[in-house]
Structure 1
Amino acid sequence: MRLRAVVLVEGLSDRLALEVVARRRGRDLAAEGIRVEAMGGATNIGHYLDRYVPLAVAVAGLYDSAEERFFRRALERVGRHAADLEECGFFRCDADLEDELIRAVGAEQVERIVEAEGRIASFRKLQRQPAQRGRSLHDQLRRLMGGRSGGKYHYARLMAEAVDLDRIPRPLTALLDRL
Protein backbone atom coordinates (compact mmCIF):
# COMPACT_ATOMS: atom_id res chain seq x y z
CA MET A 1 0.00 0.00 0.00
CA ARG A 2 1.29 3.43 -0.96
CA LEU A 3 1.91 5.89 1.87
CA ARG A 4 -0.96 8.38 1.75
CA ALA A 5 -0.62 10.18 5.08
CA VAL A 6 1.53 10.38 8.19
CA VAL A 7 0.19 11.13 11.64
CA LEU A 8 2.73 12.56 14.07
CA VAL A 9 2.13 12.03 17.78
CA GLU A 10 4.39 12.79 20.70
CA GLY A 11 4.74 9.33 22.22
CA LEU A 12 3.96 5.63 22.09
CA SER A 13 0.89 5.96 24.31
CA ASP A 14 -0.61 8.49 21.88
CA ARG A 15 0.07 6.19 18.93
CA LEU A 16 -1.50 3.22 20.68
CA ALA A 17 -4.62 5.15 21.74
CA LEU A 18 -5.08 6.51 18.21
CA GLU A 19 -4.71 3.06 16.65
CA VAL A 20 -7.16 1.50 19.13
CA VAL A 21 -9.78 4.21 18.60
CA ALA A 22 -9.35 4.00 14.82
CA ARG A 23 -9.84 0.22 14.93
CA ARG A 24 -12.92 0.62 17.12
CA ARG A 25 -14.32 3.05 14.57
CA GLY A 26 -13.81 0.46 11.82
CA ARG A 27 -10.59 1.86 10.39
CA ASP A 28 -7.35 0.07 9.55
CA LEU A 29 -4.92 2.95 9.23
CA ALA A 30 -2.07 0.87 7.84
CA ALA A 31 -4.32 -0.65 5.16
CA GLU A 32 -5.42 2.89 4.27
CA GLY A 33 -1.80 3.93 3.73
CA ILE A 34 -1.64 5.96 6.95
CA ARG A 35 1.49 5.66 9.10
CA VAL A 36 1.34 6.73 12.75
CA GLU A 37 4.73 7.91 14.02
CA ALA A 38 5.56 8.32 17.70
CA MET A 39 8.18 11.06 17.65
CA GLY A 40 9.66 10.56 21.11
CA GLY A 41 8.65 14.04 22.22
CA ALA A 42 7.35 17.30 20.83
CA THR A 43 10.77 18.78 20.24
CA ASN A 44 11.32 16.23 17.46
CA ILE A 45 8.52 17.61 15.29
CA GLY A 46 10.91 19.49 12.99
CA HIS A 47 12.86 16.35 12.18
CA TYR A 48 9.69 14.45 11.23
CA LEU A 49 8.31 17.32 9.16
CA ASP A 50 11.63 17.48 7.31
CA ARG A 51 11.30 13.76 6.58
CA TYR A 52 7.67 13.66 5.44
CA VAL A 53 6.71 17.05 3.97
CA PRO A 54 8.98 16.55 0.91
CA LEU A 55 7.22 13.24 0.18
CA ALA A 56 4.03 15.13 -0.70
CA VAL A 57 1.89 13.06 1.66
CA ALA A 58 -0.68 14.48 4.04
CA VAL A 59 0.87 15.20 7.43
CA ALA A 60 -1.32 15.60 10.52
CA GLY A 61 -1.02 14.98 14.24
CA LEU A 62 -1.80 15.50 17.89
CA TYR A 63 0.05 17.66 20.40
CA ASP A 64 -0.17 18.61 24.07
CA SER A 65 -1.20 22.20 24.78
CA ALA A 66 2.09 22.95 26.54
CA GLU A 67 3.99 21.92 23.41
CA GLU A 68 2.13 24.11 20.92
CA ARG A 69 5.08 26.45 20.40
CA PHE A 70 7.26 23.61 19.07
CA PHE A 71 4.59 22.54 16.59
CA ARG A 72 3.78 26.08 15.47
CA ARG A 73 7.45 26.97 14.93
CA ALA A 74 8.24 23.77 13.03
CA LEU A 75 5.14 24.03 10.83
CA GLU A 76 5.91 27.65 9.99
CA ARG A 77 9.50 26.67 9.11
CA VAL A 78 8.21 24.23 6.47
CA GLY A 79 5.80 26.81 5.06
CA ARG A 80 2.62 25.80 6.85
CA HIS A 81 1.39 29.04 8.38
CA ALA A 82 -1.99 29.14 10.06
CA ALA A 83 -3.60 31.07 12.87
CA ASP A 84 -5.10 27.79 14.03
CA LEU A 85 -2.96 24.65 13.87
CA GLU A 86 -6.07 22.61 13.05
CA GLU A 87 -5.94 24.23 9.60
CA CYS A 88 -2.60 22.42 9.21
CA GLY A 89 -4.11 19.15 10.48
CA PHE A 90 -2.72 19.28 14.04
CA PHE A 91 -5.10 18.92 16.96
CA ARG A 92 -4.43 20.03 20.54
CA CYS A 93 -5.05 17.96 23.64
CA ASP A 94 -5.77 20.10 26.70
CA ALA A 95 -3.01 18.74 28.91
CA ASP A 96 -2.23 15.51 27.08
CA LEU A 97 -4.13 12.65 25.50
CA GLU A 98 -4.35 10.73 28.78
CA ASP A 99 -6.04 13.78 30.34
CA GLU A 100 -8.54 13.80 27.47
CA LEU A 101 -9.20 10.06 27.82
CA ILE A 102 -9.69 10.21 31.61
CA ARG A 103 -12.26 12.97 31.11
CA ALA A 104 -14.01 11.03 28.30
CA VAL A 105 -14.08 7.70 30.13
CA GLY A 106 -14.79 9.28 33.53
CA ALA A 107 -12.43 9.25 36.49
CA GLU A 108 -14.52 6.74 38.44
CA GLN A 109 -14.51 4.30 35.52
CA VAL A 110 -10.75 4.73 35.07
CA GLU A 111 -10.34 3.98 38.78
CA ARG A 112 -12.27 0.73 38.17
CA ILE A 113 -9.85 -0.04 35.31
CA VAL A 114 -6.93 0.49 37.71
CA GLU A 115 -8.60 -1.90 40.14
CA ALA A 116 -9.25 -4.51 37.43
CA GLU A 117 -5.55 -4.32 36.52
CA GLY A 118 -4.63 -5.25 40.11
CA ARG A 119 -3.01 -1.87 40.80
CA ILE A 120 -5.52 -0.34 43.18
CA ALA A 121 -3.30 -0.86 46.25
CA SER A 122 -0.51 1.07 44.57
CA PHE A 123 -2.99 3.78 43.60
CA ARG A 124 -4.33 4.04 47.16
CA LYS A 125 -0.75 4.45 48.39
CA LEU A 126 -0.23 7.26 45.88
CA GLN A 127 -3.47 8.94 47.01
CA ARG A 128 -2.21 9.01 50.62
CA GLN A 129 0.93 10.94 49.70
CA PRO A 130 0.82 14.50 51.08
CA ALA A 131 1.20 16.07 47.63
CA GLN A 132 -1.79 14.08 46.32
CA ARG A 133 -4.27 14.41 49.18
CA GLY A 134 -5.91 17.62 48.00
CA ARG A 135 -5.92 16.75 44.32
CA SER A 136 -8.91 15.54 42.34
CA LEU A 137 -9.34 11.89 41.42
CA HIS A 138 -8.72 12.90 37.81
CA ASP A 139 -5.36 14.49 38.67
CA GLN A 140 -4.36 11.57 40.89
CA LEU A 141 -5.04 9.17 38.02
CA ARG A 142 -2.92 11.29 35.69
CA ARG A 143 -0.12 11.15 38.26
CA LEU A 144 -0.45 7.38 38.50
CA MET A 145 -0.12 7.01 34.74
CA GLY A 146 2.74 9.43 34.36
CA GLY A 147 4.68 8.34 37.42
CA ARG A 148 5.78 4.90 36.25
CA SER A 149 7.69 3.81 33.21
CA GLY A 150 5.16 2.42 30.75
CA GLY A 151 2.18 3.68 32.76
CA LYS A 152 0.88 5.99 30.06
CA TYR A 153 1.28 3.29 27.43
CA HIS A 154 -0.48 0.67 29.56
CA TYR A 155 -3.47 2.83 30.45
CA ALA A 156 -3.80 4.54 27.04
CA ARG A 157 -4.83 1.24 25.47
CA LEU A 158 -7.23 0.37 28.28
CA MET A 159 -8.90 3.78 28.22
CA ALA A 160 -9.10 3.80 24.41
CA GLU A 161 -10.84 0.42 24.62
CA ALA A 162 -13.18 1.62 27.39
CA VAL A 163 -14.30 5.00 26.04
CA ASP A 164 -17.80 5.08 24.56
CA LEU A 165 -17.59 5.69 20.83
CA ASP A 166 -19.77 8.77 21.18
CA ARG A 167 -17.43 10.20 23.84
CA ILE A 168 -14.10 9.84 22.03
CA PRO A 169 -12.05 12.97 22.81
CA ARG A 170 -12.43 15.72 20.24
CA PRO A 171 -8.74 15.80 19.18
CA LEU A 172 -8.86 12.09 18.26
CA THR A 173 -12.20 12.40 16.49
CA ALA A 174 -11.13 15.51 14.56
CA LEU A 175 -7.85 13.91 13.52
CA LEU A 176 -9.48 10.68 12.33
CA ASP A 177 -12.18 12.62 10.49
CA ARG A 178 -9.46 14.63 8.73
CA LEU A 179 -7.68 11.53 7.43
Structure 2
Amino acid sequence: MSRQRSEVATAILVEGASDRAAVLAAARLLGVDLAARGVQVVPMGGAMSVRRFVAELGAEGAGLRLRGLCDAGEVRFFEQAGLPTDAVFVCRPDLEAELLRALGPRRTEAVLQQEGDLRLFRMFQRQPAQRERTLDQQLHRFLGTTSGRKEQYGAALTSALRADELPAPLRDVVQPPT
Protein backbone atom coordinates (compact mmCIF):
# COMPACT_ATOMS: atom_id res chain seq x y z
CA MET A 1 0.00 0.00 0.00
CA SER A 2 1.48 3.33 -1.06
CA ARG A 3 1.12 6.31 1.23
CA GLN A 4 0.71 9.75 -0.21
CA ARG A 5 3.18 12.37 0.94
CA SER A 6 1.74 14.52 3.70
CA GLU A 7 2.10 18.25 3.88
CA VAL A 8 5.04 19.27 5.99
CA ALA A 9 3.97 20.04 9.55
CA THR A 10 7.26 19.50 11.39
CA ALA A 11 10.86 20.34 10.55
CA ILE A 12 13.81 18.65 12.19
CA LEU A 13 16.63 21.19 12.06
CA VAL A 14 20.08 19.62 11.82
CA GLU A 15 23.49 21.18 11.45
CA GLY A 16 24.48 19.58 8.17
CA ALA A 17 24.22 16.83 5.58
CA SER A 18 25.82 14.17 7.79
CA ASP A 19 23.23 14.76 10.51
CA ARG A 20 20.45 14.61 7.91
CA ALA A 21 21.82 11.31 6.57
CA ALA A 22 21.94 9.85 10.09
CA VAL A 23 18.40 11.02 10.95
CA LEU A 24 17.01 9.51 7.75
CA ALA A 25 18.84 6.22 8.40
CA ALA A 26 17.56 6.20 12.01
CA ALA A 27 14.01 6.72 10.79
CA ARG A 28 14.37 3.74 8.43
CA LEU A 29 15.69 1.58 11.28
CA LEU A 30 12.78 2.59 13.49
CA GLY A 31 10.23 2.10 10.72
CA VAL A 32 9.19 5.75 10.90
CA ASP A 33 7.98 7.20 7.59
CA LEU A 34 8.90 10.82 8.12
CA ALA A 35 7.26 12.06 4.91
CA ALA A 36 3.99 10.32 5.75
CA ARG A 37 4.09 11.99 9.16
CA GLY A 38 4.68 15.39 7.61
CA VAL A 39 8.26 15.64 8.86
CA GLN A 40 11.08 17.14 6.83
CA VAL A 41 14.75 17.00 7.88
CA VAL A 42 16.40 20.34 7.14
CA PRO A 43 20.21 20.72 7.06
CA MET A 44 21.07 24.31 7.97
CA GLY A 45 24.72 24.51 6.92
CA GLY A 46 25.82 24.96 10.53
CA ALA A 47 24.26 25.57 13.91
CA MET A 48 24.83 29.31 13.74
CA SER A 49 22.09 29.45 11.07
CA VAL A 50 19.39 28.11 13.40
CA ARG A 51 17.97 31.53 14.26
CA ARG A 52 17.25 32.22 10.57
CA PHE A 53 15.64 28.79 10.09
CA VAL A 54 13.50 29.18 13.21
CA ALA A 55 12.31 32.57 11.93
CA GLU A 56 11.52 31.19 8.46
CA LEU A 57 9.99 27.86 9.45
CA GLY A 58 8.65 28.32 12.99
CA ALA A 59 5.57 30.02 14.40
CA GLU A 60 6.43 33.45 12.98
CA GLY A 61 7.21 32.04 9.53
CA ALA A 62 5.78 28.91 7.93
CA GLY A 63 4.17 27.81 11.21
CA LEU A 64 5.89 24.43 11.42
CA ARG A 65 6.58 22.56 14.65
CA LEU A 66 10.34 22.53 15.10
CA ARG A 67 12.71 19.98 16.56
CA GLY A 68 16.48 20.09 16.49
CA LEU A 69 19.49 17.79 16.65
CA CYS A 70 22.81 19.34 17.57
CA ASP A 71 26.21 18.79 19.13
CA ALA A 72 26.68 19.67 22.78
CA GLY A 73 28.81 22.68 21.86
CA GLU A 74 26.03 24.12 19.70
CA VAL A 75 23.10 23.98 22.14
CA ARG A 76 23.38 27.68 22.94
CA PHE A 77 22.53 28.61 19.34
CA PHE A 78 19.35 26.53 19.48
CA GLU A 79 18.40 28.03 22.86
CA GLN A 80 19.07 31.57 21.66
CA ALA A 81 16.91 30.90 18.59
CA GLY A 82 13.99 30.12 20.92
CA LEU A 83 13.64 26.36 20.50
CA PRO A 84 12.26 24.81 23.69
CA THR A 85 14.65 22.56 25.57
CA ASP A 86 12.43 19.51 25.07
CA ALA A 87 12.55 20.01 21.29
CA VAL A 88 16.36 19.94 21.09
CA PHE A 89 18.17 16.60 21.12
CA VAL A 90 21.83 16.88 22.03
CA CYS A 91 24.68 14.63 20.88
CA ARG A 92 27.56 14.47 23.37
CA PRO A 93 29.97 15.70 22.35
CA ASP A 94 28.81 15.23 18.74
CA LEU A 95 26.95 12.85 16.44
CA GLU A 96 30.07 11.02 15.30
CA ALA A 97 31.08 10.27 18.88
CA GLU A 98 27.56 9.00 19.65
CA LEU A 99 27.68 6.65 16.65
CA LEU A 100 31.22 5.45 17.42
CA ARG A 101 30.24 4.67 21.03
CA ALA A 102 27.13 2.81 19.90
CA LEU A 103 29.04 0.65 17.41
CA GLY A 104 32.37 0.30 19.15
CA PRO A 105 35.69 0.41 17.33
CA ARG A 106 35.66 -3.08 15.81
CA ARG A 107 32.18 -2.76 14.30
CA THR A 108 33.11 0.71 13.06
CA GLU A 109 36.15 -0.77 11.33
CA ALA A 110 33.87 -3.37 9.76
CA VAL A 111 31.77 -0.52 8.32
CA LEU A 112 34.96 1.12 7.00
CA GLN A 113 35.81 -2.20 5.33
CA GLN A 114 32.32 -2.45 3.84
CA GLU A 115 32.58 1.13 2.52
CA GLY A 116 36.03 0.47 1.02
CA ASP A 117 37.91 2.82 3.36
CA LEU A 118 39.68 0.48 5.78
CA ARG A 119 42.96 0.63 3.83
CA LEU A 120 42.82 4.44 3.86
CA PHE A 121 42.11 4.37 7.58
CA ARG A 122 45.14 2.13 8.21
CA MET A 123 47.32 4.61 6.29
CA PHE A 124 45.77 7.46 8.30
CA GLN A 125 46.63 5.65 11.56
CA ARG A 126 50.31 5.56 10.56
CA GLN A 127 50.54 9.34 10.22
CA PRO A 128 52.74 10.85 12.95
CA ALA A 129 49.93 13.03 14.30
CA GLN A 130 47.69 9.97 14.78
CA ARG A 131 50.10 7.48 16.34
CA GLU A 132 49.60 8.63 19.93
CA ARG A 133 45.81 8.86 19.66
CA THR A 134 43.47 6.12 20.81
CA LEU A 135 41.61 4.07 18.22
CA ASP A 136 38.39 5.95 19.09
CA GLN A 137 40.13 9.29 18.57
CA GLN A 138 41.59 8.12 15.27
CA LEU A 139 38.22 6.92 14.01
CA HIS A 140 36.54 10.18 15.03
CA ARG A 141 39.19 12.27 13.28
CA PHE A 142 39.17 10.08 10.17
CA LEU A 143 35.45 10.68 9.65
CA GLY A 144 36.06 14.40 9.19
CA THR A 145 39.15 14.37 6.98
CA THR A 146 37.57 14.26 3.51
CA SER A 147 34.71 16.23 2.01
CA GLY A 148 31.55 14.14 2.00
CA ARG A 149 32.89 11.46 4.34
CA LYS A 150 30.87 12.60 7.35
CA GLU A 151 27.67 12.40 5.29
CA GLN A 152 28.60 8.98 3.91
CA TYR A 153 29.33 7.64 7.37
CA GLY A 154 26.40 9.40 9.03
CA ALA A 155 24.23 7.03 7.02
CA ALA A 156 26.55 4.00 7.00
CA LEU A 157 27.30 3.95 10.73
CA THR A 158 23.67 4.55 11.67
CA SER A 159 22.51 1.81 9.30
CA ALA A 160 24.98 -0.63 10.91
CA LEU A 161 23.15 -0.32 14.23
CA ARG A 162 20.07 -2.16 15.37
CA ALA A 163 17.12 0.05 16.28
CA ASP A 164 17.66 -0.66 19.98
CA GLU A 165 21.29 0.50 19.69
CA LEU A 166 20.54 3.95 18.28
CA PRO A 167 22.00 6.75 20.39
CA ALA A 168 19.22 8.42 22.38
CA PRO A 169 19.40 11.85 20.70
CA LEU A 170 19.13 10.29 17.24
CA ARG A 171 16.34 7.94 18.26
CA ASP A 172 14.39 10.58 20.16
CA VAL A 173 14.51 13.29 17.48
CA VAL A 174 12.90 10.83 15.04
CA GLN A 175 10.23 9.54 17.39
CA PRO A 176 7.01 11.51 17.13
CA PRO A 177 6.16 13.56 20.19
CA THR A 178 3.48 11.99 22.37
Q: Is TM more than 0.5 here?
A: yes
Alignment of 1:119-138 (within 5 A): 119-138=117-136
Aligned equivalent of 1:74: 81
Note if 1:105 corresponds to 2:103: yes
Distance 2:169 2:77 in 1: 18
Aligned equivalent of 1:57: 64
Distance 1:3 1:121 in 2: 42
Normalising by structure 1, we get a TM-score of: 0.89
Distance 2:115 2:175 in 1: 32
Give the deviation of 1:56 after TM superposition: 2.8
Aligned equivalent of 1:31: 36
Distance 1:152 1:144 in 2: 9
Q: Percent identity?
A: 39
Greater share of residues in helix = 1
CA RMSD, aligned part only?
Answer: 1.4
Q: How many residues align?
A: 170
Give the deviation of 1:73 after TM superposition: 1.3
Conserved in 2, the CA contact under 8 Å of 1:22 and 1:29? yes
Aligned equivalent of 1:16: 21
Normalising by structure 2, we get a TM-score of: 0.90
Distance 1:47 1:12 in 2: 18
Give the deviation of 1:28 after TM superposition: 1.1
Extract unaligned runs of 5+ from structure 1: none
Note if 1:155 corresponds to 2:160: no
Conserved in 2, the CA contact under 8 Å of 1:105 and 1:164? no
2:97 alignment partner AA: D
Distance 2:64 2:47 in 1: 20
Distance 1:141 1:62 in 2: 22
Extract unaligned runs of 5+ from structure 2: 1-5
Aligned equivalent of 2:3: none
